[in-house]
Structure 1
Amino acid sequence: MKWLALGLALVAPSEAGLRFGCATLSVQRLDPLVEPGQVPSGHVHQIVGGNYFNATMDPSIDVGEKGTCTTCSFSEDFSNYWTAVLYFKRRDGMYKRVPQYANAQLEGATKGMTIYYTQLDFNGNGNEKITSFKPGFRMTVGSPLTNSKEQATKNVGLRYTCLQTILTRGAETPDFPKAPCPAGIMAIHHFPACWDGKNLDSPNHQDHMFDTTKGGFRVAGPCPSTHPVRMPQVAYETMWNTTQFNDKSMWPTDGSQPFVWSTGDGKGYGTHGDYLFGWKGDSLQRAMDSTCMFSACGAKTGVLKTQSAAAQNSCAVKNTVVEDIGEDDWIPALPGVH
């Protein structure tokens, strides 16, 4: 029943904070959180958001004041959001990058990701004070080092959905789907939303936050005394269009699934996401203090400023790392992974 309600909400959303598309800003080997200053970083990432993105991202700099364009539909959001990139490994060992497509009701942003900032759950804002992130804030969720299903299952906010249609919800798994998916694979990343109230970051980019999510968009548990400040529940959905790879003659002869993250993870256990706050001024706090819903937080209410799809899709950064990442051609190895 929960997932039926979610499907209906996608068609006629109720008050649930922000849901918006961010087009692709760049796809390259940079990671200013985990590997700051390293060019190239260890594996390929897909990055969306503001164009101030670079290899270092000095935490003392207010990203919201530095960006000049953003790939997100809300034009005051210069944050950066990134994950690893999905590849298909052909039977002969060659790799090709899996393309993306836009989520339901977000067809304006080509490729990229769907971003959520929810408060109570998918269907309500609740009545708890939600405190916006601060300039310099960053965090990660998951780890590329996770290598067992037991570990992955415990990360309830990190899941996959084998899409039957663009609106498919439910049947989430902690690992890659085992059979071809008619409408692709949705990768889901839910971040923790309880802050210690002091640190904008921590050495592992996670300890300053505490995760009480219960998976999906269900109401999260209360924040503990060690991390008492409730912040927005950030989540990503990436629609990976795997349909061109559904021909089983390209799959491994043993019938195993053929998809692999750019880290080299062929199980899906090591899925992870990075977040770097960059909303301009008090714009995110204004949204969290309002009762607006999804796209209505823009033109209908004037809570946030929006931009055209053309402006979203035209924002980009030059690649610092120039290499063949398998977008158009098959490549013999994953960039940076040996």
Structure 2
Amino acid sequence: MKSLSVALALVLARTTQAGLRFGCSSLTIQRLDPVVEPGNLPSAHLHHIVGGNAFNATMTGDVGARGTCTTCQMAEDFSNYWTAVMYFKHPTNGSYHRVPVINNAALAQGTTGGITIYYTQYDLSRDNIKQQPITAFKPGFRMTVGSPTHTGKPHAGLSYNCLTTLINRGPELSDFPTKPCPAGIFVTHHFPACWDGKNLDSPDHQSHMYNTVTTTGFINAGPCPATHPVRMPQLVYETVWDTTKFNNLFTTGTNPFVWSFEGTGSGTHADYMFGWKGDALQKAMDKSECFYDGCGSIKQQSMSVANQCTVKKFVNEDIDGWVSHLPGMEVSM
């Protein structure tokens, strides 16, 4: 499978379509999950969250209208993006240490930790058939991808890379690497892009969407089916976890990493809650000849401003240093 860096090189060599690639600094790391566990303080496991400051345990309606700041470079994006947190499990004593997040390569100067966000039209390349227009997400829209209970090979578009450098990603993997990675572990969450046109959410937070991609995420996306006829922006998260500080404790051939729900790589998952202001995202998706910046249609802010955006600590617990159990896992241990 081709890494994204190769895919980008290929697509940028030809005419590109509208797309956004930008960074969002870390907003908070807490046990909150307003999509899967609304109202729960705390949620079952720890999450790494970026985006707008409307984030809390219960979020309904137009999130973008309530946000007053965002950790994202795109100043009109008050959406929230989050994933489970990665932990290193000590091979000798079984204790855990949270793995820190570092910024991806080529992001805006000053981005702190965070996630790289993509909104593209057709997985960075066009089909040979006439494509549907792109319809931006609506206020109140939310979805998830992947599942903490999933076993076996992860769903299409959910992958890992063992980084040689922040630029050289190497091959895509379906699970955590089983050797030390010189520059950390790169994790991709690629969401489905076909919507049923009716529901802003569904009981499992996934059935209102359909994924036309069955292999790696960054390839041509087939037409949307009749059950989910509306083509929406292709949303992707990229997170770089700085596993390098644990390399001297690593035994090659084994995997010492777990997600914060005590799960292995197959359970990787991510949550999304739309919160763009007005029609800013739609304007970017309506452009056709540029990538990364939305053809100048979206206001950007310096990351020094973005990094000032915070939310209060809703769950008071220690999440740093070596711990005997994962946050929220006391009963099951």
Residue 279 of structure 2 corresponds to which residue in structure 1? 282
C-alpha spacing 1:135/1:242, structure 2 compared with 1 (3 Å): same
Q: Which amino acid aligns with 1:54?
A: N
Q: Is the 8 A contact 2:19 2:292 kept in 1?
A: no
Please give the residue correspondences for 1:212-223 in structure 2 after superposition, counting only pairs within 5 Å.
212-213=212-213, 214-223=215-224
Task: Note the alpha carbon deviations across 1:250-309, whole angstroms, 9 max, x for none.
Answer: 236x952111100101x3110000000000000000000013534432xxx430000011
Residue 297 of structure 2 corresponds to which residue in structure 1? 303
C-alpha spacing 1:105/1:12, structure 2 compared with 1 (3 Å): farther
Q: Is the 8 A contact 1:7 1:169 kept in 2?
A: no
Give me the whole-angstrom Cα distance separating, in 2, the residues matched to 1:127 and 1:224.
Answer: 13
Q: Which amino acid aligns with 1:193?
A: A
The answer to whether structure 1 residue 147 and structure 2 residue 151 are counterparts is yes
Aligned residue pairs, count: 323
The answer to whether structure 1 residue 73 and structure 2 residue 67 are counterparts is no
Output the TM-score relative to the length of structure 1: 0.90
SS in 2 for 1:314: coil
Q: Is the 8 A contact 2:50 2:115 kept in 1?
A: yes
SS in 2 for 1:236: strand
SS in 2 for 1:199: coil
Q: Is the 8 A contact 2:169 2:186 kept in 1?
A: no
Q: CA deviation at 1:124?
A: 5.7
Residue 251 of structure 1 corresponds to which residue in structure 2? 250
Q: Is the 8 A contact 1:16 1:123 kept in 2?
A: no
Q: Is the 8 A contact 1:193 1:232 kept in 2?
A: yes
The answer to whether structure 1 residue 333 and structure 2 residue 332 are counterparts is no
Q: Which amino acid aligns with 1:103?
A: N
Task: Note the alpha carbon deviations across 1:107-153, whole angstroms, 9 max, x for none.
Answer: 4311010000011222569853000000000000000001223xx2x
Residue 209 of structure 2 corresponds to which residue in structure 1? 209
The answer to whether structure 1 residue 128 and structure 2 residue 132 are counterparts is yes
Unaligned runs of 5+ in 1: none
Give me the whole-angstrom Cα distance separating, in 2, the residues matched to 1:115 and 1:310.
Answer: 18
The answer to whether structure 1 residue 225 and structure 2 residue 226 are counterparts is yes
C-alpha spacing 1:10/1:228, structure 2 compared with 1 (3 Å): closer
Give me the whole-angstrom Cα distance separating, in 2, the residues matched to 1:109 and 1:102.
Answer: 6
Q: Is the 8 A contact 1:7 1:167 kept in 2?
A: no
Q: CA deviation at 1:158?
A: 0.7
Please give the residue correspondences for 1:172-183 in structure 2 after superposition, counting only pairs within 5 Å.
172-183=172-183
Task: Note the alpha carbon deviations across 1:23-78, whole angstroms, 9 max, x for none.
Answer: 111100000011000000000000100000010102xx211111000000000000
Give me the whole-angstrom Cα distance separating, in 2, the residues matched to 1:7 and 1:176.
Answer: 24
Q: Percent identity?
A: 59
Q: Is the 8 A contact 2:136 2:233 kept in 1?
A: yes
Q: Which amino acid aligns with 2:56?
A: N
Q: CA deviation at 1:182?
A: 0.9
Task: Note the alpha carbon deviations across 1:185-242, whole angstroms, 9 max, x for none.
Answer: 0111000000000010000001100111242311112111000000001000001111
Please give the residue correspondences for 1:51-200 in structure 2 after superposition, counting only pairs within 5 Å.
51-58=53-60, 61-91=61-91, 92-106=93-107, 107-123=109-125, 128-149=132-153, 152=154, 155-169=155-169, 171-200=171-200
Give me the whole-angstrom Cα distance separating, in 1, the residues matched to 2:182 and 2:157.
Answer: 24
C-alpha spacing 1:39/1:200, structure 2 compared with 1 (3 Å): same
Output the TM-score relative to the length of structure 2: 0.91
C-alpha spacing 1:43/1:323, structure 2 compared with 1 (3 Å): same
Q: Is the 8 A contact 1:102 1:108 kept in 2?
A: no
The answer to whether structure 1 residue 318 and structure 2 residue 317 are counterparts is no
C-alpha spacing 1:241/1:71, structure 2 compared with 1 (3 Å): same
C-alpha spacing 1:12/1:296, structure 2 compared with 1 (3 Å): farther
Q: Which amino acid aligns with 1:334?
A: L
Residue 269 of structure 1 corresponds to which residue in structure 2? 266
